[in-house]
Amino acid sequence: MTPRPSTRNKAESPVEIVVLDTAGEAERYAASEIRSFITARREPVLGLATGRTMLKVYDWLRQWHEAGELSFAACRSFNLDEYRGLSADDPSSFASYMRRSLFDHVDMPEANYHLPDPDAPESSLAAYDLAIEKSGGLGLQLLGIGRNGHIGFNEPGADRHSLTHVVALDPSTRAANAGDFPPGVDVPTHAATMGIATILGAERILLLATGAAKSEALARAMSGPVEADCPASYLQLHDHVTVVCDREAAALLQERS
């Protein structure tokens, strides 16, 4: 699995883009970057993401843990977001997703992993950013990208200076996530999410994008202007971003580079 050269010149942008042939290779590469970060730090602080794109990443991390090659005992983590109105035990909640995908299978103490309280009053969500700050700040933030360019649940129009807050989910986001809910169950209309400023406060950002459906959003985010209409474009303002993608996701970006 040899990564292709970055599609961008580092002199032009601090964003490093690693293109792999397949989604599987990209997922393993992203997982290996997380593994390297954890093993290099005494007290790693992770920002974690959910969604179908991340499932194989967490599979790799679990496998390495089960093989005795990776410990999460010293890790602390903060998830990007959570649906408003879902209990932590709801199978469609991100809390349940994280337990199924990672937390129940590794040695991270339960007290060390955190998700924003989706039903807290807006004024109380500042406590999430404070908890991140008290932990020493996010060392590595894992991200996906929505088809409309969202990161976390920061939808088009997101404020660059926003901290953790409640957002109304775009209809396209709700439609894209409908498959994560039982038939006939509506996707919640709101969620709590880290804000753009919270995300950009991470020391390092790792974005994983796979599949042709993400190609337009990725091209806008990395090759287009920095603008609120494509929240992921704000990542161009960060000085340590690595984008890992497969050929399908990178297709339009390569054309525009």
pLDDT digits (tens, 9 = 90+) for 97-111: 999 999 999 999 999
Residue 213: how many other CB atoms lie within 10 Å: 12
Strand order of the sheet with strand 190-193?
Answer: 81-83, 190-193, 165-168
Token pair for residue 11?
A: 């002199």
What are the angstrom distances between the C-alpha of 29 and each of 3, 58, 61? 9, 12, 11
Beta bridge partners of 205: 141, 241
Residue-wise pLDDT tens digits, 139-166: 999 999 999 999 999 999 999 999 999 9
- pTM for the model stands at 0.92
Catalytic residue among 82, 155, 246, 248: 155
**Class of residue 10 by CB neighbours under 10 A (exposed 0-12, middle 13-18, buried 19+):** exposed
In the prediction, which pLDDT does 255 show? 54
**Domains of the chain: residue spans and CATH:** 23-140+150-205 (3.40.50.1360)
Dihedral angle of Cα 139, 115, 180, 178, to the nearest 10 degrees? -100
Percent of the chain at pLDDT above 70?
93
**Residue 210, SS3?**
coil
Tokens 């939808």 belong to: 155
Give the tens place of pLDDT for each residue, 175-219. 999 999 999 999 999 999 999 999 999 999 999 999 999 999 999
In the set 148, 154, 165, 177, the catalytic residue is 148
Confidence of residue 254 (pLDDT cuts 50, 70, 90): low
| 68 backbone φψ class: left, alpha, beta (φ>0; ψ -120 to 50) | left
- Cα–Cα distance, 43 to 49 (Å, whole number): 19
* Set 129, 150, 154, 248: catalytic member: 150
Nearest to 148 by CA among 58, 214, 60: 214
CA dihedral 230, 127, 50, 85 (to 10 degrees): -100
Question: Rounded to an integer, what distance in angstroms lies between the CA atom of residue 142 and that of residue 128?
Answer: 17
Kindly report the number of other CB atoms within 10 A of residue 204's CB atom. 17
Active site (annotated) includes residue 105:
no
- Tell me if residue 79 is catalytic: no
What gap in Å lies between CA 67 and CA 93, rounded to an integer? 29
Structure confidence at residue 32 (pLDDT): 98
* 150 given a catalytic annotation: yes
- Distance (Å, whole) CA 17 – CA 153: 23
pLDDT grade, residue 13 (50/70/90)? Answer: low
Candidates 25, 27, 33, 81; catalytic one: 81
Angle (CA) 164-30-174 rounded to 5° is 45
| Active site (annotated) includes residue 107 | no
Average pLDDT over every residue of 2-20: 62
Q: Which of 128, 135, 100 is nearest to 195 (CA)?
A: 128
DSSP structural state of residue 221: H
